[in-house]
Amino acid sequence: MVRFSEELHAENREIWQRSKDHPFVQQLVDGSLDKEAFRYYLLQDHYYLTHYVKVIALGIAYADDYSAMMGLSQSLASLEVSELAMREKFYSHVGIEAVDLDGDTTFGVGAKRVETMQTHGIGYTFSACITAEIAIRTAKAFITSAISQSMGIGHVQPDETLGAQKLELKTR
């Protein structure tokens, strides 16, 4: 049986490849990315990852079975060891201090609790919804920034536009 993520990757192979070939990604890989751009990337990535940790934690809290809780717990532990710790090693090299990492934007989710035994998979669904909300906010910030900086999106290829000008995304 093919996993859902494998299906998505196969259906979007061209987009995936364009993302991998983007100048920002290539410069990040080969070490030629501008220091300030790298700093900004680390700040944005920290913002995303710290909220992703919360999503996983909520998934654990609302998971309806032990195996789901353990799977999400392993994801959380792996995230700390691989993603967060690795990035923190770069902070001092680009002048990021603890005060830079404090976010000032929060959002809450509230609803009346529904008593039911039919909640299998709801933790994963809830996590995906919150991640989608963060992605939507980031996309909106990108579009707003592109419009306000008169980047001419719609008249040139987006990857040419991004390579030509530095974006100032503000999601906070």
Averaged pLDDT for residues 101-110: 56
What's the pLDDT at 70?
93
- pLDDT level of residue 105 (50, 70, 90 thresholds): very low
What value does the mean pLDDT of the chain take? 77
- pLDDT level of residue 66 (50, 70, 90 thresholds): very high
**One-letter amino acid of 165:** Q
- Among 42-51, 83-92, 109-118, 154-163, whose mean pLDDT is lowest? 154-163
What's the pLDDT at 162?
47
Check: CB of residue 162 under 8 Å from CB of residue 23: yes
- pLDDT level of residue 158 (50, 70, 90 thresholds): very low
Q: What percent of the chain has pLDDT over 70?
A: 71
Of 47 and 154, which is predicted with more confidence? 47
Q: Which candidate, 142, 128, 160, places its Cα nearest to that of 8?
A: 128
Q: What angle do CA 20, 137, 44 make, to 5 degrees?
A: 55
- The domain limits of the chain are 33-101+117-157
Q: Which candidate, 41, 35, 45, 73, places its Cα nearest to that of 57?
A: 73
Token duo for residue 77: 């532990």
- pLDDT level of residue 80 (50, 70, 90 thresholds): confident
- pLDDT level of residue 30 (50, 70, 90 thresholds): very high
**One-letter amino acid of 35:** K
Per residue in 119-147, pLDDT (tens digit) is 666 677 777 777 777 778 777 777 776 66
Token duo for residue 146: 């592109």
Per residue in 6-22, pLDDT (tens digit) is 888 888 888 889 888 98
